Structures are given as C-alpha cells and as structure tokens.
Structure 1
C-alpha cells in the first residue's frame, strides 16, 4: 500500500507522452468533424445556398433589364412579388377559421403588420436605389452593417445569447466579404456610374437597418406564430404599400418601358425567384436564425459574379474563389453551435418567500379540510388539492 501511495504522486505528476500529445489534435478534429457532418448542418448549408441562388436570380434579371433594355423599375418588380404572396398565402389565411383566420389576425395585430409591410417594402426599395448614387464596393461593404444590427436586435428582442465562436464566425464571414470587395477592385468593378456618394451610402445603411428589423420580426413570427401568417400579412400590406408607391414614384418609368416577350420573361423570372426566396427563407429561419441566414446569403454576390462572367463579360479573379471559401467556413462555423435563449427574469427572492408563506398559511388555516396549496405561476393563481 505504501509503495502504491508513493507511486501515485509520481504517476500524477508525470508529463504526458509524445503519443498522447499528438493524439489530442486528432481527437479535436474528429470531434469537430462529427459535429459538422450531420444532416441538420448540411441541410442548413443547402437551404442557405439555395436562398443565395434565388437572390442571385433577382440580381441578374434586374441587371439584365437595366443594362440591355434600360428598364429600372424596382418598385414594379417588388409589387409583382407581393401580389404573388397575396394570391397564395393571404388566400390561405382567408380560408382559415378560428383564431388563425385572416379576420382575427387583422383584428388583433393589423397595425403591427402595416409597420412590418412598410419596413419590408422600403428595405427592398432603398437598397436598389442606392446603386444609382454609390459604387458596388460601397454597397457590399456597408450592407454588412445589417449583420451586427441584426445580432443586436436579436439580443434585445429575441433574447438570443451568443458564444465566442459566433463572433469569430461573423468576423471570418466579414473577412470573406473584404476579399470579395478586393477582387472587385482588382477587376475594375468598383467604379460608380452615379453621383452623390454620401446619399448612396446613407441609403445602404438605412436599407441594411430596415432589413435587420424585417428579419428579426420574421424570425419571431415564424417561431411563435406561423410562416403562413407572416407571408400572408406581408403579401397583403406589401401589395397595398408598394402599389401606392409604384403609382407615385415610378409611373413615368412605366410609360417608358418597351414591352416585348423578353422583357416579360425577365420580369417573370425575377418574380418567381423573389417569391421562392420569400417562401423558403422563413423555413430556414425557423430551423436556425435570422443571423445565420444573413451570413449564408453573403455568397449571393459571388453567384451573381459567376453568372456575370458569361452574361456581362466580367473579369475573373482567384480572390473570388478564396472569398467564397472564407465565407462558407465562417457560415459553417456559426451554425455548428446553436445560440442560447435567455430565460425570463425570475421573481426576486423576497417576493418568492412571501408567496410561499401565503401558501403555508392557507394550508394551516383548517386542518379538518383538505389541504390546499396555492401555486403562483407568471402572475396566475392555481389551486391544487394535495389530498
């Protein structure tokens, strides 16, 4: 026994063998690989890149309309999308009965959805408008302001709590955006055809902030209410608001459009891509979060570039591939660890003790009658028969 006791400290204080030290990184990589190689992670990656492709479709069709046919009608394009949402999802709400019916939703939350519809419409409009005043590089850089704004809103409104790995992942994604902007500069795509750069930059920041508000609201609604309610209400009020704005600000542009089958086909492709984008994004948000979706769609500019290599004869740079890889690494790192949700604030200890004493007095008031325990849960009183 004494020999064993004497040997124990020596064993405990011994340095790890070189084989054990070399095995530690392998175990860490194996653990990380097992964490990432799950169906949930891959499904999130696929869905995020599908959203990016739909955003790419809207960007390419808009640019093709603007460059080849001189059609610049962002509000008309948004209006068509909202009409599709109205016809599909608002109609679904109209056929519902009970508390989830269209009438009950309007009766209880109509003013909230008016605000959300206004935010969503203007976010789409001001970002497209910003391209007329500032450069592509400025839009790409300043649009990233929406990610920290989104994280801040999620912290206060959705009570999301982030870990250090999430901040590292966001920093990696933004590094990828920086590489993409550098590639644009080297390829000569950073020049601006517009003027009043300050106005354009302000519009980008405003659009990013509005998108953050819209996305946080969307995440809250799809996780606590329903996806159909969000899309139906956005379709209803988005159609009304964008229709009014279309009549006010774009009626002259509409008169200049030279309609033919190619222009109609491009409008149709834009509307279908935007409709699919709006339909799929709530599904991904419900499974993950608004922040992870916005990190995933940072690759949409790169998809647009790849299409532009053939359609608009862009110059290629290896930095685009590097930026794509960096953004995807950051995105995968972010979704590998779910965020936490803060619990509601508990009652102070003194208040809790007072409620317990009140229950105790009620139990001791009459020993002949069945004991009653009064439980207080979030302001409600529940009486439980303990016999």
Structure 2
C-alpha cells in the first residue's frame, strides 16, 4: 500500500522544470529567433533535431553536412551568452547570469543566397528552477503584505475615480454630438449661402468684365480665346515654335569613327531643347512631390491617423476650389453649365478612375508585400503607352521602348537593394493585394493617357477643374461611406493638420504640373519619371530619419535618368501627339450670342 509523504512531495515540486517543445520550418538562409524570459542563475538546456528535405525520397531526413548555429544573448545588455555550431542532432546548455528576456536564435550553416533548401527543426527547451532563498523570501513577506494592502486601497480609489470619469465622458459625448449636429447644419447653410453669393457675383460682375473687354481694349479680337493657355505654354517652352513640329534628330553616321562621334555629339546637342529640359525637370519635380506624399502619409500613420480616402479628398477639393471658379470666369456660368451637360460624363469617368486607382493602390499596400507593390506599380507604364496609341495613334520608336526598359532596370536595382537590406514585410493576402495593385496600376495608366488626350485639346484649367469637381463628389461619398466612424476617432491636432497640409500641397503641385508635362512630353514620360521617387525617399530618410543608405540606390537613380534621356534619343517630344488646345465650340458660340 502506497503512503503519502509530504517531504517526498515537496522534493518533487522543487525538482520540477519547465519544458517547451515545438517544431518549425525554415529556409537555408533564414534565422529564427525566440525570446525567453529567464530569472538569474537558471540553467537552460535545449535539444534540437534538424531534418533536411530530400527531393528524391520526398521526405525530411538527417543530413550530415547540415550544421545548426545557436546564438543566445541577453536582450537588455546585448551580452552574448552562447554562440556555437553543432551537428543536425545535438543539444546546448547555458546559465542565465542576469534576469530578463533572452533571445535564442537558430540558423543553418548554408550561406548560398540562392539555396532553396527547406529545414524541419524540432526544438525542446528545458528551463530549470533557480536556487530558492527561503530566508530572504520570508523576510519580505510582511513587507509585501503591507504593500498589497496599500495597493488594494489605491485600486479602490482608482475604481471610484474611473467611474466618475466615465460619467463625465458620457455627458461630454452627448454635448459633443449635439454640438456637431448643429455645426453640420451651420456648414450646410454656409455652403448654400456661398453658392448663392458666388452665383450673384458672377452674374453681376459679367457686365463690367464685358465692358472692359469690348470698350477699354478695342484692339482685342472678340473671337480670340482669352484663356487659351496654349500660347502661354508655347512662350514658356520656346521649343514649341511652328518649325519644332518638323524637328528631326540629326542622323548617326557610321561611315568612320570621326563622323560617328561627331554625329553622336550632334544628336546629343539636339536633345537639350528648352522643351526637353522642362520635361526632364518637371518629371523630377512630380517625382519629388510623390516622395513628399509618401513621407507625410508615413508620419500620419505613425500618429494613428489612417484615413486614406479622406486624406485624398482634400486634394480634389483644393483643385475644385482653385480651378473651377476660374473656368466659370472664363466660360461664363452658361458656358460652364453647357460644359457640365455635354462633356461632364467624360470628366466623371476620368475622376472615377483616378479616385478608385488611388484607393486600390492604398488597399494593395495593406495586403501584399512591398516588393510586389514596387514591381506591379510599373504596370501603369505599358498600359499608359497602349492607351496613348489608342487615343492619338502615337508611334513608339524602338529607342523609346529601350528607354522604358532601362528605367525599369533602375527600378529592378531598387527592388534588389530593398531585398538585400531586408526592407520587405510579409504579405497578409498576396493574391488579393496583387490583384488590387494590378487594377489600380491599370486605372493609373488609363487616367494618365486620358488626361493627356484631354489637355492636348482643351485648356488646362478646364480639365483640372473638372477632375477636381467630380473627384470631390466621388471621393467625398466614398469617404463618408467607408471612414465616417474613423473620422470621429482620428486625432485632429496641429501635427496631423500640418502633415495633411503638406500632403495636399505636394499633390496639388503634382496635379498642376502633370498636365503641362503631358503637353511638353507625354503621359508615358510622366510615368517613367516617377521611378526616381525612391531615390528622393532615400534622401528624406537620410536627413529626417538618419537611415543608412545602401550603395545600390545611387547607380539605380543614374540608370533611371539615363533611361529618361534614351526615351527621346531618336523621337522628339513634338512627335508624341498633336497639340491644339482650344475652348469648346459651344462655349464660344454662347459668348458670341451674348455679345450680339
């Protein structure tokens, strides 16, 4: 008959240990780390067994050449406790000298970058108990008991204070909701009042404007397009002369080495027209604007402000506020109304694709990994070139295709640098994220080509103003449907408002310069110019966040710039499409009937 002995039971309890057993998979170049919280002077013993996947037998088996590297260090001090390498089936032992978190890392001895070996690793970690200091524990029992009583009293006080705060928060929430409802009605009334005032002003200010046009400046032709910005663009870009349409690059002479070098130099000099220089600089300005939007969005997310649709609404609203009143001033209220009725559906489609493209690309970053986003985003370039061919029958020379490939090669170097520096992050749902990115990039390419087609036939302020007006409407409805609850919980402080202002300003500049770049070069050139934005992001990281640069970024930037030059090595910017911007005929007929 068995008898229960307290002394024996106590000795068994003191000899108990904690055992952690698991198995996991890792690749040849992968390091897997675990964090274990250990008291001081504790013996830890680990046993591992690594099996390598055998393709012939389709099983995991022991491989004698396989080695396992074990590294243990203290998290707080960074002190290395163990660093050893052993066979695929072995054990390791160490003693923790300090209490706290310890990092246990395991990796293989395979160093080949392209190795695709898969490892199945079993790991048992046995943590022993520390030596009990009974006398010391007994001396602190009374002190701890007193502290526990004090803590209980403080908890009661805190509980009563929290209950009081909940009641106050409930009263404040009711008051805030009532105030917000009144503020919404006040805002709606204010908007209606402003619209009525604007309509009245436009109606009554039209007479002095006509008087100044017809009598104070009699030499002005009444049929002249006052707001036709094609002339201003031609003045700002002197490469737009009538003969520039006939511009042809000097031929390359291969008859001798001297003639070849002279012909290449002549071709090189023919590149640097004022129109090409403007296109090159404008492309880098919009690329820098894209970088600013990425930096400001990152800062907003770090401050728990993540409202991508609402964030973009401020851009469309600013475009609407600036360009639509100017369009009404130039066309007249009746002409602007005819524009909405006859051509509004075209701009509605353009704005819808632009809004949804932005939305899908932002959603894609939430599901797929960074490298997939970088590569798939380049899909907008061939899509844009295809729609330019559909709209304007643009013929691409093989040097332009080469320029696109060179720029894409620079993007590939950036992807490799991010891969080597381990900047990628795991994908939540790679298939869904890649689909979102492909659809978003397709909409980007379609939007850019369509906007280029519009600005080559209509004034800039009309196209951008209509994009802002319809974008404000579509984006506002989508934001109120998707982010209404999040708007009330977001932090609206000085920092977030400042970053929102910087984000909106940079995108406002981009949406203003982009149509000019479409005219001076093409929308495809606009897209490949954006590939340098990662380099500018590196510069922001150096000066703002003190990142350490990877050397591959600098040659990648140079490769993209070379591709931008190669793109127009044979073809000229003037050959990319016919440029004939003018007001719609129905707007001009409306003006003539009013004058008569």
- Please name the residue that 2:286 is paired with: 51
Cα distance change on mapping 1:65 and 1:341 into 2, 3 Å: closer
Which one of the candidate residues 374, 391, 413 is aligned to 1:140? 374
Distance (Å, rounded) in 2 between the aligned partners of 1:181 and 1:314: 17
- Please name the residue that 2:536 is paired with: 303
Q: CA deviation at 1:341?
A: 6.2
Cα distance change on mapping 1:296 and 1:100 into 2, 3 Å: farther
- Please name the residue that 1:34 is paired with: 269
- Please name the residue that 1:24 is paired with: 259
Which one of the candidate residues 551, 555, 572 is aligned to 1:322? 555
Distance (Å, rounded) in 2 between the aligned partners of 1:217 and 1:228: 16
Tell me, yes or no, if structure 1 residue 196 matches structure 2 residue 429: yes
- Please name the residue that 1:131 is paired with: 365
Task: After superposition, give the CA deviation of every residue in 1:85-108 in whole Å (9 maximum; x if it has no partner).
Answer: 111111112223369932121121
Distance (Å, rounded) in 2 between the aligned partners of 1:309 and 1:275: 25
Cα distance change on mapping 1:308 and 1:49 into 2, 3 Å: same
Gaps of 5+ in 1: 1-19, 344-387
- Please name the residue that 1:213 is paired with: 446
Task: After superposition, give the CA deviation of every residue in 1:59-82 in whole Å (9 maximum; x if it has no partner).
Answer: 110011112x02111111110001
Are 1:93 and 1:229, in contact at CA under 8 Å, matched by a contact in 2?
yes
Q: CA deviation at 1:342?
A: 8.7
Indicate the structure (1 or 2) with the bigger Cα radius of gyration.
Answer: 2
Distance (Å, rounded) in 2 between the aligned partners of 1:22 and 1:214: 46
Which one of the candidate residues 287, 304, 309 is aligned to 1:75? 309
Cα distance change on mapping 1:95 and 1:127 into 2, 3 Å: same
TM-score, scaled to structure 1 = 0.79
- Greater RCO (Cα-Cα under 8 Å, separation 6 or more): 1
Task: After superposition, give the CA deviation of every residue in 1:94-149 in whole Å (9 maximum; x if it has no partner).
Answer: 22336993212112112112111111111111111111111111111001111111
Which one of the candidate residues 176, 179, 184 is aligned to 2:413? 179
Distance (Å, rounded) in 2 between the aligned partners of 1:327 and 1:22: 28
Tell me, yes or no, if structure 1 residue 115 matches structure 2 residue 349: yes
Are 1:309 and 1:316, in contact at CA under 8 Å, matched by a contact in 2?
yes
Structure with greater helix percent: 1
Distance (Å, rounded) in 2 between the aligned partners of 1:82 and 1:43: 26
Give the secondary structure class of the aligned counterpart of 2:367.
coil
Structure with greater strand percent: 2
Tell me, yes or no, if structure 1 residue 225 matches structure 2 residue 458: yes
Distance (Å, rounded) in 1 between the aligned partners of 2:484 and 2:336: 31
Give the secondary structure class of the aligned counterpart of 1:124.
helix
- Please name the residue that 1:285 is paired with: 518
The number of equivalent residue pairs is 322
Tell me, yes or no, if structure 1 residue 62 matches structure 2 residue 297: yes
Distance (Å, rounded) in 1 between the aligned partners of 2:334 and 2:545: 47
Root-mean-square deviation (Å)? 1.9
Distance (Å, rounded) in 2 between the aligned partners of 1:152 and 1:286: 17
- Please name the residue that 1:95 is paired with: 329
Distance (Å, rounded) in 2 between the aligned partners of 1:56 and 1:43: 20
22-31 or 38-47: bigger deviation:
22-31
Are 2:521 and 2:576, in contact at CA under 8 Å, matched by a contact in 1?
no
Cα distance change on mapping 1:28 and 1:97 into 2, 3 Å: closer
- Please name the residue that 2:395 is paired with: 161
183-192 or 73-82: bigger deviation:
183-192
Give the secondary structure class of the aligned counterpart of 1:97.
helix
- Please name the residue that 2:129 is paired with: none
Give the secondary structure class of the aligned counterpart of 1:161.
coil
Distance (Å, rounded) in 2 between the aligned partners of 1:148 and 1:182: 22
Distance (Å, rounded) in 1 between the aligned partners of 2:385 and 2:467: 23
Cα distance change on mapping 1:73 and 1:164 into 2, 3 Å: same
Which one of the candidate residues 335, 338, 360 is aligned to 1:104? 338
- Please name the residue that 2:494 is paired with: 261
255-264 or 239-248: bigger deviation:
255-264
Give the secondary structure class of the aligned counterpart of 1:70.
coil
